[in-house]
Amino acid sequence: MHDGSLRSFGFYLGANVRVFKGFNFNVGGNYRITRDQINLPAGDVSLEELLLQQQQLQSGYNYFVSLGFSYQFGSIYNSIVNPRFNF
């Protein structure tokens, strides 16, 4: 567990931009370098095992990108209209 060659480094970046009142545009991304996959078995993996997802190959990186939007609506007098919210 104290092997110095095992490492993992990640980076995340995201933004939320308000286009107009109640409407937001979201963008985000993540990149991770992984060299600490000690749970994977050593040795060769056959194509059949790989396609049937019985074994995994070691990867050096993972990434994702997300885009989206959100709309939020409601009354500014929400606590008066519905007192159960306890605002």
* pLDDT, tens digit, 9 for 90 and up, residues 28-42: 999 988 777 666 666
Residue carrying structure tokens 């994702």: 64
Q: Which of 53, 56, 52 is nearest to 40 (CA)?
A: 56
Write down the pTM of the prediction. Answer: 0.52
What's the rounded Cα separation, in Å, for the pair 85 and 87?
6
* pLDDT, tens digit, 9 for 90 and up, residues 18-31: 998 889 999 999 99
